[in-house]
């Protein structure tokens, strides 16, 4: 019986390694996660781990505290960290949480079989094992207590909608680059492509040439800090110039 258990552990470990290595080859997937973590996060809940140095009363004091993440700096509970570096890896959720923290993924309401875990490194300190659950949820362990962070937005700067047929191009100029662009797009039943690029031609987003399922809208969040001259172009390329219909909802928010 012990031999079977040991073999099972070996298989699980090999599987987790395979998932991690596979993820390293998926640059687009990791880049997508990198864009999703950019922004402001607020602690909204906590879950005690198997062993924790914090009491519930101490953990309660973290509720409402915020963390800001971007490529230039990180603000962690009011303390600013310059030029943070993010290192991502994909982990099989069950063995990762059990081997490192002796907990089940159900405790943290993680439904997926795998999660993206990242470390934040600066000159002063390293923050290990931040768990990316979704574009709206992070989990971070402090002294054995798992804190749930939800993405929040300080202020909506602009909201604009565009509807039309055929090809489309719109230039948007911003006063600074410290913004987050959220764009909802719907191509309905005709295949179209959405491209967002800065004035130097650097592509920030390029979708496939395909239709979306009405009335479902696709959503993309883009960090604008690296945008040249704080201006960008929104383009729609249509497969059928006269018949295609599309709809865009563009929102600019502060971090």
Can you give the pLDDT at residue 156?
61
Residue 14's H or E segment, with its range, is helix 2-24
Can you give the pLDDT at residue 5?
44
The reply to whether the predicted model has a pTM over 0.85 is no
Q: Are 109 and 47 in contact (CB under 8 A)?
A: no
> For residue 67, what are the CA distances in angstroms to 60, 139, 149?
16, 12, 9
- Per-10-residue mean pLDDT of the chain, 255 residues long, equals 40 32 42 77 94 95 89 74 86 95 94 93 85 93 96 73 91 81 84 90 88 64 78 91 84 75
Can you give the pLDDT at residue 180?
80
Can you give the pLDDT at residue 69?
85
Residue 163's H or E segment, with its range, is strand 156-165
Can you give the pLDDT at residue 15?
31
Domains and CATH numbers, the chain: 2-152 (no CATH), 156-254 (2.60.120.380)
Can you give the pLDDT at residue 53?
94
Q: Which SS3 state, helix, strand or coil, does residue 71 take? A: coil
Minimal CA–CA distance to 148: which of 164, 136, 159? 136
Please report, to the nearest 10 degrees, the dihedral formed by the alpha carbons of residues 120, 124, 125, 130 taken in order: -20
Q: Which SS3 state, helix, strand or coil, does residue 193 take? A: strand
Q: Count other Cβ atoms within 10 Å, centred on residue 38.
A: 19
């Amino acid at each position: 019986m012990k031999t079977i258990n040991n073999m099972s552990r070996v298989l699980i470990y090999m599987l987790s390694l395979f998932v991690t290595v596979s993820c390293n080859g998926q640059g687009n997937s990791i880049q997508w996660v990198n864009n999703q973590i950019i922004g402001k996060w607020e602690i909204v809940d906590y879950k005690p781990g198997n062993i924790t140095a914090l009491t519930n009363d101490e953990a309660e004091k973290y509720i409402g505290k915020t963390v800001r993440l971007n490529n230039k700096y990180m603000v962690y509970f009011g303390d600013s960290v310059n030029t943070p570096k993010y290192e991502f890896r994909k982990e099989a959720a069950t063995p990762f949480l059990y081997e490192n923290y002796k907990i089940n993924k159900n405790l943290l309401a993680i439904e997926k079989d795998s999660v993206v875990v990242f470390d934040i490194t600066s000159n002063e300190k390293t923050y290990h094992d931040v768990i990316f659950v979704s574009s709206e949820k992070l989990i971070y362990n402090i002294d054995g207590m798992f804190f749930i962070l939800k993405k929040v937005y300080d202020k909506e700067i602009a909201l604009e909608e565009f509807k039309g047929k055929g090809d489309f191009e719109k230039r948007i100029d911003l006063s600074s680059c410290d913004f987050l662009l959220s764009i909802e797009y719907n191509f309905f039943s005709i295949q179209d492509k959405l491209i967002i690029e800065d004035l130097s031609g650097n592509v920030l987003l390029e979708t496939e040439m395909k239709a979306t399922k009405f009335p479902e809208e696709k959503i993309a969040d883009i960090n604008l800090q690296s945008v040249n001259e704080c201006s960008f172009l929104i383009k729609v390329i249509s497969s059928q110039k006269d018949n295609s219909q599309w709809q865009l909802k563009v929102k600019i928010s502060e971090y």
